[in-house]
A and B are shown apart, each in its own frame.
Chain A
Amino acid sequence: MKTCFRITVLLSLVCLFVFPCPTTHAQSKVIEIGAPIPLGGVGGAYVGIGWGYTDCQAYINEKGGVRGHKIAYLLEDNRWSVPTEIAVINRLLTMEPKDQLLLFCGNLITGTLKAMSDKINKEVRIPSISLSYSVEMFGKQGGPAKYPYYFSVGPDYSQQVGLLLRYIKKVHKKKSEPRLAVVYSPTEYGRDPLADLKEDVKKLGIKIVAEEEMAITASDVTAQVLNIRKAKPDYILWHGFLPGMPVSTVFLKTVKQYLPKVPILGTHYQTVMGMITAGGPAADGLIGVSTSVMWHETNNPFVKLAHEQAKKRGREIPVGEESNYIGGWMLGLMGAHAVDVAAASGDMTREGVKKALEASTWDFDGMYEGATFSYASHKVPMARIFKASYAQKRWNAMTPWLNVDKELK
């Protein structure tokens, strides 16, 4: 009898460990968010984004997670390479349980979004928040009707360029029409806004006097800059580069020497702290559109939160990584917020997260300083124009938050 009792207890204990209670498991399941980010490769390593995710994860989980569920950002290096990122996404989709991996929230470069559009939007149907502002994906040609599971965190590149063109019209003092030189990288990313740009300049009365492609691996761009110089532009618009690409600095330095008085204007990824640290004095006076906040804007509640959390975790953000750190936080909080709303509605599935994102009016804990907007277009329509100050080592806002849905009407 005693032996029988012992065996029963032992078997019960074994069963408890081997077959844990399914209800308990379901309640405490970890919510996974796939996060491919560039930690190496031709575009540079953006470790700050990873720190942003890591701290955001700790912040959310210390508060008890999302409705009792811990959050885990699955950080993967995409090497700023489409094949690598596709491999990462496929691996995560294959290995992670469908009820745990609820969304992707990361770099998701334009080329990947194009290549994976059928798989993500028709086959797997998983919401994917991207750091891409691709016109083809999020602009007139794309959007929710064509790519219902793709989301972005800012206006598309055409809209960003549109803001810059209107800025040029506003500040142009000469009687003749503004002369614009356009420089872009021969990548999907670089060529993305060109068609809309050419339509927009006609409407606004801006003349494109030079158009130059600049390879992202180029070590010398003297010929391109000399071609631009011959065209005598009033402004140079550059798009399709990252601060981690050596060509970005080579371009800034070369322009500064051949055309020191011509302002250079860029889109979001040319308007990050890394561009000032890498470009040095050559980056002084750069103008750019950013969809994000800057690290020094400590009055902004979102930036304040990031500063507090970095301090709490003893993380010193090196100069140049601030924009990346903020970017990690943005994506991290946005993903967690979507899961939270989905959980609140009782539909914590991929479909539920998509619906939560579409219905969202969330402003990243006050990042947009009270400005309201709709997220129905699957992109946050907010951006500002900044000017780089090398002396202050920062981007100074030249405009308040601009809602492109209103500004570009």
Chain B
Amino acid sequence: MMDFLQFFCSGLLNGLVYALLGLGLVLIFRASEAFNFAVGEFLVVGAFLFYFFYFNWGLPLLIALPLGLGAAGVFGGIVERSVIKPLMGRPHLSMTIITLGLSNILAGGLQATVGSNPYNFSVSLPDLTLDLGPLIFPSTNVWAGILSLAFFTMILLFLYKTRWGLVIQATSESQPKALCFGINAQSVLLLVWAIAAACIGASGIVISNLGALSSQISVVGLRAIPVVLIGGLDSIAGALVGGLIVGIAESLTGAYLEPAGLIGFKEVVPYFVLLIALFIRPYGLLGRVRIERV
């Protein structure tokens, strides 16, 4: 039982990181109905921007973190203005497809600029190791969970407790209606991409702190796909639920199924869970059911 609890809670902490990653995708999808396949590269770019401020420039964490996330936001804004905005008014699918191209361009650019070798990435944080006898949760994992939850909450508060958040929600609901109410939808889209990029960048920082920073951690970004599809592409709560499900499923698979001979199944299990979830609810567990009249 204690073993189960240990693996379950470890999965829960990882799941919070995945939830934050998924949130970045959900925000973009709600606002522009585009699926951002460049999520892995956004993750790496955000983490590298923080790396420059914190490790290269040696700024204190409390300054480097907002600067890094702000820079990630600016990066998201640039992407929106240069890649997404020109496609406004075209089918949403074209926006999704262009993010595939963007992903390749960014991946190549990252390899050319920062290489593909890992960078040591150990942020100095107070030791929060939870040593409860048979249960142990290392400090970096506890911090990963705390920081992910904190970022997630901050974005929720921004969306639901501020005027700008309300504007984003209105635009996400219906761009034409928002325009009728005098909302500048284009500025809102810019803001959403910036927030989403910062959100994905924050998860990149947390993920890098668990290991190392490398252009190759972009592959972790792919975890966001089952996360948001399980939870529902347009559901913020779904990102949280999906993230936790994926984190726990991975951990329990690593603990019980892989030692039984299913080596590598941990990498596959999120997609397996996704398949089951989609059989039950094709729009995701908390996704909005769309009825299209033809």
B residues 245-289 near A (Cβ < 8 Å) are: 250-251, 253-255, 258-259, 263-264, 266-267
Cβ of B136 under 8 Å from chain A? yes
> Is A222 interfacial (CB 8 A cutoff)?
yes
Q: Is residue B96 within 8 Å, beta carbon to beta carbon, of the partner chain?
A: no
In whole angstroms, how far apart are the Cα atoms of A244 and B254 in the complex? 23
Judge whether B210 and A279 touch: CB under 8 Å.
Answer: no
> Does B138 sit within 8 A of A, measured CB to CB?
yes
Closest to A41 in B: B116
Q: Which of B111, B129, B212: most chain A Cβ within 10 A?
A: B212
> Which residues of chain B come closer than 8 Å to A40, judged between CB atoms?
111, 116
Stretch at the interface among B3-11, B63-71, B97-105, B165-173: B3-11
Whether B117 pairs with A45 at a CB distance below 8 angstroms is yes
- Report if A219-B214 is in contact (Cβ < 8 Å); known contacts: A226-B6, A258-B136: no
B258:A223 contact, CB within 8 angstroms: yes
B141: chain A residues within 8 A (beta carbon): 222, 257
| A218→B253 CA distance, assembly (Å) | 13
Among candidates B120, B220, B255, residue contacting A219 with C-beta atoms closer than 8 Å: B220
Query: B32 interface residue, CB < 8 Å from A?
Result: no
Residues of B within 8 A of A213 (CB): 258, 263-264
CB distance from A5 to the nearest CB of B (A): 59
Provide the A211-255 mask, 1 if CB < 8 A to any CB of B, else 0.
Answer: 011010111111110110110000000000001111111100110
A223 CB contact (under 8 Å) in B210, B254, B264: B254
Number of interface residues, chain A, beta carbon within 8 A: 43
- Decide: A244 and B116 in contact? CB cutoff 8 A: yes
Which residue in chain A gives the minimum CB-CB distance to B138?
A: A257
Asked whether any CB of chain A lies closer than 8 Å to the CB of B192, the reply is no
Contact for A278 among B118, B136, B219, CB less than 8 A: B118
Q: Check B122–A280 contact: CB distance below 8 A.
A: yes
Over the window 137-159 of chain B, the binary record of Cβ atoms lying under 8 Å from chain A Cβ atoms (1 yes, 0 no) is: 01111000000000000000000
Inter-subunit contact A278/B117 (CB<8 Å): yes
Contact at B212–A249, with CB atoms within 8 Å? yes
Docked-complex contact B258 and A246, CB < 8 angstroms: no
| Chain B residues whose C-beta falls within 8 Å of the C-beta of A227 in the assembled complex | 254-255, 259
Minimum Cβ distance to chain B for residue A40 (Å): 6
Complex CA–CA separation, A245 to B263 (angstroms)? 19
Q: In this complex, what residue of A is CB-closest to B251?
A: A223
Write 26 A-B pairs (CB below 8 A) sorted by A numbering.
Answer: A40-B111, A42-B216, A44-B116, A44-B214, A45-B117, A47-B115, A215-B266, A219-B210, A219-B220, A222-B14, A222-B251, A223-B7, A223-B10, A224-B254, A226-B6, A245-B216, A253-B122, A253-B211, A258-B136, A278-B120, A278-B212, A278-B214, A279-B212, A280-B121, A280-B122, A320-B117
- A residues whose Cβ falls under 8 Å from a Cβ of B: 40-42, 44-47, 186, 212-213, 215, 217-224, 226-227, 229-230, 243-250, 253-254, 257-258, 274, 277-282, 320
